């Protein structure tokens, strides 16, 4: 099992450019999440997908869109990148089993710089 994979690992964009961050998980999890982490801070939720076919806004959704392509894949799109979107982006998937299990598994992250 590869767990949660993200591509690319690094990206530099100019202001106004667009790009899509890809995320895939092979653990058959229903829920997937996109977070951003700014220097010295915790994670802030951008968007999440509780199950295939559904997406919901998190704490900081402005400037982003998402697509839950299928159960495995959840992509994050920046339509017009801004310097304020310079951050490290993490994708996660979550296993929930009644009341006994609740764990998020994280990908390695994408370091994005917007000039």
Partner 1 sequence: SQQGEEDPQALSIQEGENATMNCSYKTSINNLQWYRQNSGRGLVHLILIRSNEREKHSGRLRVTLDTSKKSSSLLITASRAADTASYFCATVKAAGNKLTFGGGTRVLVKP
List residues near partner 1 by CB under 8 A.
4, 33, 35, 40-45, 48, 50, 58-59, 90, 92, 96, 99, 102-109
What distance in Å separates the CA atoms of residue 64 and residue 28, rounded to the nearest whole number? 25
63 vs 106 by CB, closer to partner 1 = 106
17 vs 86 by CB, closer to partner 1 = 86
Which DSSP category does 104 fall into?
A: E
CB of 56 to partner 1, least distance (A): 8
Instruction: Examine residue 8 and say whether the peptide bond preceding it is cis (omega within 30 degrees of 0).
Output: yes
CB of 6 to partner 1, least distance (A): 9
What element of type H or E holds 88?
strand 87-97
């Amino acid at each position: 099992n590869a767990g949660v994979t993200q591509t690319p690992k690094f990206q530099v964009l100019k202001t106004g450019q667009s790009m899509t961050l890809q995320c895939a998980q092979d653990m058959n999890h229903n829920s997937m999440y996109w977070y951003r982490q700014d220097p010295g801070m915790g994670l802030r939720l951008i968007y999440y997908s509780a199950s295939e076919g559904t997406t919901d806004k998190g704490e900081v959704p402005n400037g982003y869109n998402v697509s839950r392509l299928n159960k495995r894949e959840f992509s994050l799109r920046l339509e017009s990148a801004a310097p304020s979107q310079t951050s490290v982006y993490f994708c996660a998937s979550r296993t929930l089993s009644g009341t006994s299990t609740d764990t998020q598994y994280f990908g390695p992250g994408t370091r994005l710089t917007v000039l």
